[in-house]
Structure 1
Amino acid sequence: MTDHAELVACYELTQAKARYCRTLDTRDWDGLAALLTDDVEFGMGDGHTEPHMTVGRDETLTLLQSLVAGSKTAHHVHAPEIDLNGDEAQVIWAVQDRAVFDSGLAVTGYGHYTERWVRQAGQWKLASARLAHLITDVQQPVAG
């Protein structure tokens, strides 16, 4: 890959990940589905043990929908470490995510996404994602 092609690929990957965060937070499930491979793998954990992985686009969307149900969320990613290899990329993103549930419970996680992206028909698609929360802050609802 030329230097120019690498820069373009890095830009495209950051745009794809930004779209992932936006579509998840706005509950644009069709938009999110368009970013995933058919056989995407997704798992969450504490960074110390290997997470259980959900396999498949529909299964992953169902899991994500259940995780954010009854909440408002904001996912912020930054400082990507991108390793390109042709039409495949390994990317680690620093992440901070927050969910505030209708019950008043609020959870803020800090950690990393470790991902594999593949370029299919000129578009980057998420093929594998592991979210590891290294720190989780939980705020219980105030009793009233």
Structure 2
Amino acid sequence: MSSLEHRISRLEALDEIRQLPARYALALDMRDMDAMVSLFPDDVKVGKGASGREALRSYMDATLRSPFTGTSHHIGGHIIEFDDESHAHGVVYSKNEHETGNEWVIMQMMYIDDYRQSDGRWYFARRLPLYWYATDLNRPPIGENKMRWPDTEWTEGNFHKLFPSYAEFWERGGVPPGPVPEPAPLDQFLNRMRRGATAPKVKVRAQ
């Protein structure tokens, strides 16, 4: 493949991957479970010991049926980096609204995604949700334990846990020592930010 062909192929891949989160959001909000699971490969893993699109459809159907009456997912910034020609990873912001009984719960989160190309199409290989807060619209989540779903114990989210810089920023109390490092290579921005941090354990409440 020539340099120009490679660049065109990469641009086409970027465009296809960027549409995955938007399609996911629309499928969830419209409760089209078949459309949603079509964004994942047919061997997608679902929890412990389960796999496949049918298993994912059953799980998400139950998750979105109660306690939610309706949802709206607003997709924000999306960073994509390629591991090779058929694998990539990324981060995408999502601001979500949930009608939950008599309360309207807003949530800020990000997805840590892995993408995989199979049979000429790009799919989600994995989606890891990291939450910052969830609270009723009229009750700003000031202070600790920002995950405040109705009728549940308040807990802390994991929005910042994949990136060490957040804790380091508050721990050091000033400008970091030493010179500013050179910019990360184009496909290493996320890896540089993570600095080897492993993905936190996540108890999925809503997406």
TM-score by length of 1: 0.78
Q: Which has the higher contact order (CA 8 A, sep 6+)?
A: 1
Alignment of 1:3-42 (within 5 A): 3-41=7-45
* Partner secondary structure for residue 94 of structure 1: strand
Identity of aligned residues (%): 21
Size of the alignment, in residue pairs? 130
Correspondent of 1:60 among 56, 59, 72: 56
**C-alpha spacing 1:55/1:109, structure 2 compared with 1 (3 Å):** farther
Partner Cα distance (2:8, 2:16) in 1 = 12
1:40 Cα offset (Å):
2.4
Q: Which amino acid aligns with 2:136?
A: V
User: What runs of 5+ residues in structure 2 fail to find an aligned partner?
Assistant: 138-149, 151-207
Asked if structure 2 preserves the Cα contact closer than 8 Å seen for 1:87 and 1:119, the reply is yes
Q: Which amino acid aligns with 2:8?
A: H
Asked if structure 1 preserves the Cα contact closer than 8 Å seen for 2:37 and 2:56, the reply is no
* Partner secondary structure for residue 35 of structure 1: coil
Partner Cα distance (2:48, 2:22) in 1 = 23
**C-alpha spacing 1:54/1:116, structure 2 compared with 1 (3 Å):** farther
State the 4+ residue runs in structure 1 displaced beyond 6 angstroms: none
Q: Which amino acid aligns with 1:63?
A: Y
1:41 Cα offset (Å):
4.1
TM-score by length of 2: 0.56
Alignment of 1:109-124 (within 5 A): 109-124=107-122
RMSD: 2.2
* Partner secondary structure for residue 79 of structure 1: strand
Asked if structure 1 preserves the Cα contact closer than 8 Å seen for 2:112 and 2:128, the reply is yes
| Greater fraction strand | 1
1:60 Cα offset (Å):
2.7
| 1:72 alignment partner in structure 2 | 70
Partner Cα distance (1:88, 1:5) in 2 = 13
